[in-house]
């Protein structure tokens, strides 16, 4: 009797073990390519969840796999800690690129350092990409590879009669020709990681669809190519724009500001760059509009599609490249400076404000780094100028509402502008401005294909907005704000004490801007992410409001 019973338990154990997954590789849908490749390498089971999901359905599914080992790819925001089940190990860097490198070093014995994998050497590759060559781009068949291949082509110096050099873009899955010509002493997995390889007069710019923009952005960030014809066209556009502003400003202070701005830009010409989210959202969205005919981004669910549309228009003047993005940033800066001067009746105040802003490290950073900040501040300055001279006419209301709704596509926070203005004015014109701005924003959001669900999901993923998060945000932001605002306050006090400038008392508009500044200071305290750039708008508004007291 004992032998049949023992045999039964042995068979049962074998069945259970057979139905269990020995190793499971867990990752979000934004790291799925890496998860699938590692699973194949380890002969493991891939398990993909939506980015940041805490849904019990996925947790239970993972538990039901009865894994003896769980390998988690990504940080706690990508794959939340509720998936830390049983015998697990997490591989997470500060970003996707570093996470990919951790996988390479731990499972493929490939040591990586720096922003990219350069093979055979960084020096050789950087020397290659700044040369004029007859570049032949062979793109992958995925939409991301197709649109970013165009961006690569326009970011390189070209000589159509020179040395032919083939560039494969993508990875071995979406680019069959790359697979066929992968004659390199590196495993295929490298093609799914941010890497640049130069071998036998052939350049491989690789990455999965989720991280290919990282490869391209980091490769060209400090090696921007400026072509003479583009520089000439941009100079003419900038000259005409400045001349139009001068026609209305008519002040030598504006000429001084233009000279200082031009010298400042020239001094920092090699410091321009692009922030991480701009690659995956705003630039990717603009390239989708340009080459796919519709708006989509690698990171979905983002409502701030306005910057992508601004770039889309700009790319019809200049080819899509990092050079064009630098031109865009410079142009936005000069537009903003022009409206600062139009805003102030006393033009020397415009010069002081501009110099103060250039002296604030946070502001300087986001002139040089492409993101939503500078575009948003430019729209903000245009709207404030119109509001300061607002007469309540129907055409003014329509123009203001249209500008505010477009600005809200760049940053939805723009809707606070008409809301607070209506609170101060309490008349039908201000209420109409508020209502029309909201209606136009929702209409444009629907037409443009923008979404808001990503941000709602991000709040939910990170546990919601709690008192603990609020306190942590206060501790994080308050010292930074005091440091950023110290320089403007010092200049204001100097102007008041030494110059004995009188303060105007009959203008309520300065209190409106101060209220707006306070609101934009409070906003980051109720958000689940911490970045100093969220303070930039409030610092900008406090500076403008401070000098509004002397504008008579």
pLDDT digits (tens, 9 = 90+) for 57-68: 888 888 888 889
Q: Is 318 helix (H, G, I), strand (E, B) or coil?
A: coil
- Provide mean pLDDT across the span 335-355: 95
- Provide mean pLDDT across the span 22-36: 87
Judging by DSSP bridges, how do beta strands 117-119 and 45-49 pair with one another?
unpaired
**Residue reference for tokens 């538990």:** 63
- Provide mean pLDDT across the span 192-205: 89
- Which are the contacts of 175, defined by CB distance < 8 A and separation ≥ 6? 138, 139, 140, 141, 145, 168, 169
Q: Is the predicted pLDDT of residue 2 greater than 70, yes or no?
A: no
Q: What is the DSSP letter of 413?
A: G
Domains (range + CATH), the chain: 20-92 (3.40.50), 117-220 (3.30.379), 228-548 (no CATH)
141, two tokens: 């068949």
Measure the CA–CA gap between 444 and 450, rounded to whole angstroms. 8
Judging by DSSP bridges, how do beta strands 202-206 and 195-199 pair with one another?
antiparallel
pLDDT bin (cut points 50, 70, 90) of residue 535 is very high
Q: What is the DSSP letter of 118?
A: E
pLDDT bin (cut points 50, 70, 90) of residue 18 is very low
Q: Is the predicted pLDDT of residue 102 greater than 90, yes or no?
A: no
The pTM of this model reads: 0.85
- Which are the contacts of 430, defined by CB distance < 8 A and separation ≥ 6? 418, 421, 422, 424
Over the stretch 219-252, which tens digit does the pLDDT of each residue have?
887 778 888 899 999 999 999 999 999 999 999 9
Q: Is the dihedral of CA 40, 46, 50, 54 positive or negative?
A: negative
Q: Is 138 helix (H, G, I), strand (E, B) or coil?
A: strand
Order of strands, sheet of 88-91, starting from the edge strand that comes earlier in the sequence: 45-49, 23-28, 69-73, 88-91
**How wide is the angle at C-alpha 170 spanned by C-alphas 165 and 171, nearest 5°?**
110
What whole-number percentage of the chain has pLDDT above 70?
Answer: 89
Of 108-122, 196-210, 307-321, where does mean pLDDT reach its minimum? 108-122
- Which are the contacts of 117, defined by CB distance < 8 A and separation ≥ 6? 101, 104, 110, 190, 193, 194, 195, 196, 197
Measure the CA–CA gap between 308 and 311, rounded to whole angstroms. 5
pLDDT bin (cut points 50, 70, 90) of residue 14 is very low
Q: Is the predicted pLDDT of residue 140 greater than 80, yes or no?
A: yes
pLDDT bin (cut points 50, 70, 90) of residue 21 is low
Q: Is the predicted pLDDT of residue 203 greater than 90, yes or no?
A: yes
Measure the CA–CA gap between 532 and 517, rounded to whole angstroms. 15
Q: Is the predicted pLDDT of residue 297 greater than 90, yes or no?
A: no
């Amino acid at each position: 009797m004992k032998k049949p019973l023992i045999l039964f338990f042995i068979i049962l154990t074998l069945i259970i073990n057979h139905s269990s997954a020995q190793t499971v590789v867990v990752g979000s849908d934004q790291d799925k390519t890496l998860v699938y490749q590692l699973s194949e390498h380890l002969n493991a089971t891939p398990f993909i969840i939506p980015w940041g999901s805490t849904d019990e359905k996925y947790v239970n599914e993972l538990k039901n796999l009865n894994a003896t080992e769980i390998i988690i790819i990504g940080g706690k925001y990508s794959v939340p800690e509720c998936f830390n089940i049983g015998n697990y190990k997490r591989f997470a860097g500060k970003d996707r690129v570093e996470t990919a490198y951790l996988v390479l070093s731990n499972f493929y014995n490939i040591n990586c350092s720096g922003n990219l994998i350069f093979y055979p050497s960084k020096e050789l590759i950087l020397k290659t990409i700044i040369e004029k060559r007859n570049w032949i781009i062979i793109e992958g068949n995925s939409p991301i590879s197709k649109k970013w291949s165009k961006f690569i082509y326009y970011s390189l110096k070209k000589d159509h009669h020179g040395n032919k050099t083939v560039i494969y873009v993508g990875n071995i899955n979406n680019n069959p020709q790359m697979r066929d010509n992968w004659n390199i002493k590196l495993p295929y997995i490298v093609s799914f990681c941010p890497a640049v390889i130069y071998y036998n007069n052939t350049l491989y710019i690789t990455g999965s669809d989720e991280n290919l923009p990282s490869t391209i952005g980091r490769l060209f960030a400090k090696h921007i190519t400026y072509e003479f014809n583009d520089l000439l066209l941009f100079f003419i556009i900038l000259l005409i724009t400045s001349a139009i502003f001068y026609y209305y400003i008519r002040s030598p202070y504006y000429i001084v500001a233009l000279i200082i701005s031009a010298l400042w830009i020239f001094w920092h010409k090699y410091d321009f760059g692009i922030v991480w989210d701009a690659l995956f959202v705003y630039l990717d969205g603009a390239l989708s509009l340009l080459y796919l005919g519709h708006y989509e981004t690698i990171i979905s669910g983002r409502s701030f599609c306005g910057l992508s549309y601004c770039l889309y228009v700009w790319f019809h003047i200049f080819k899509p490249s990092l050079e064009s993005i630098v031109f865009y940033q410079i142009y936005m800066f000069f537009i903003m400076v022009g409206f600062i001067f139009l805003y102030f009746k006393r033009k020397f105040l415009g010069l002081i404000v501009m110099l103060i802003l250039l002296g604030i490290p946070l502001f300087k950073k986001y002139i040089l780094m492409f993101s939503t900040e500078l575009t948003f501040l430019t729209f903000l300055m245009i709207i404030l100028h119109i509001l300061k001279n607002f007469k309540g006419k129907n055409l003014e209301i329509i123009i203001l509402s249209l500008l505010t709704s477009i600005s809200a596509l760049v940053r939805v926070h723009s809707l606070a502008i008409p809301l607070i203005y209506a609170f101060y004015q309490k008349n039908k014109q201000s209420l109409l401005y508020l209502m029309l701005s909201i209606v136009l924003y929702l209409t444009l959001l629907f037409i443009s294909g923008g979404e808001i669900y990503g941000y709602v999901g991000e709040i939910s993923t990170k546990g919601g907005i709690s008192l603990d998060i609020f306190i942590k945000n206060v501790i994080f932001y308050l010292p930074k704000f005091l440091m950023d605002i110290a320089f403007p306050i010092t200049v204001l006090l100097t102007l008041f004490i030494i110059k004995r400038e009188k303060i105007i008392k009959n203008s309520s508009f300065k209190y409106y801007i101060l209220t707006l500044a306070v609101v934009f200071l409070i906003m980051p305290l109720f958000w689940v992410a911490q970045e100093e750039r969220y303070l930039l708008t409030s610092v900008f508004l406090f500076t403008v409001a401070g000098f509004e007291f002397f504008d008579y």
